[in-house]
Amino acid sequence: MEDMELVDRCWDTHNELISSREPDRVHNKIETWFKNEEDLGSITMCGRTIVNASIMDVLAVFGEVDLIDSFIDEFEKIEVIKQFSNFRILNTCKLKMPLFVEARDLVTMGIGITLQEEKSVLLAMKSVEGKYLGTPCPNESNTHKRIFLNFGFYLLTFIDETHTELSFGINVDPKVPMIPWFILNTFLKEIAYYILLNYRDQIEKLDKTVYEKRRLERREFYEEIKERITFVSKNLCDIPD
């Protein structure tokens, strides 16, 4: 039930902002949307862009979690705490913040599902505390303030064999009570843009040898993806021998 509530919340946010509203900003072929939730002390940020790559190439970048912090400048370090299954993970992410704000981190669970009718894959996540499925979450450290992600998602939508629509959304409580919202919002809005930009740039200049090696090493994982994504051609899903 909790999984479906998370998926529904992500999908509702996608439909409310990305699908239904003109973007607040458009720059460098990246559209972004923002919604202040000052009564909740949080902000919703969404973005969308087109990536010149197949959906399998995009999925490979998201599937290899330990490589992500090497090209997303806003992420200091991402570590997998436990991989429960091919489509369920518990991880921690350390975030870089402006000089006047203490570094932040968060502990999140993530799940992946396919949406066949939409020709999409949804990667949904949210913060967890204490234990998750019996696995203890790390305590807050002295160097990083723990923040709470109410929900977040990446939506990968198949366009054709060489193009994928990448959408992104998060609702987060940054836990910075002494910083005025208008200053904090400016910083957070820049994060939303640059995260999408960095993903797009990394995927489009992909070192395929690195990811092909990972696909060989994790053949079972990618074979399961191949079975679930029936809306792309077999050639795109093939794993090299």
Averages of pLDDT over each 10 residues, the chain, 241 residues: 90 94 94 79 88 91 89 88 94 82 89 91 95 95 90 95 94 66 65 88 84 88 83 61 57
| Sign of torsion over alpha carbons 60, 49, 197, 193 | negative
**Boundaries of domain holding 206:** 2-237
**The predicted structure's pLDDT at residue 1:** 59
**The predicted structure's pLDDT at residue 223:** 86
**The predicted structure's pLDDT at residue 122:** 96
**Three-state DSSP string of the chain:** CHHHHHHHHHHHHHHHHHCCCCCCEEECCEEEEEEEECCCCEEEEEEEEEECCCHHHHHHHHHCHHHHHHCCCCEEEEEEEEEEECCEEEEEEEECCCCCCCCEEEEEEEEEEEECCCCEEEEEEEECCCEECCEECCCCCCCCEECEEEEEEEEEEEEECCEEEEEEEEEEECCCCCCCHHHHHHHHHHHHHHHHHHHHHHHHCCCHHHHHHHHHHCHHHHHHHHHHCCCCCHHHHCCCC
**The predicted structure's pLDDT at residue 42:** 78
The CATH number assigned to the domain holding 50 equals 3.30.530.20
pTM: 0.89
**The predicted structure's pLDDT at residue 173:** 75
**The predicted structure's pLDDT at residue 156:** 96
Q: Tell me how many domains the chain contains.
A: 1
- Give the burial class of 46: count Cβ atoms within 10 A of its Cβ; 0-12 exposed, 13-18 middle, 19 or more buried: buried
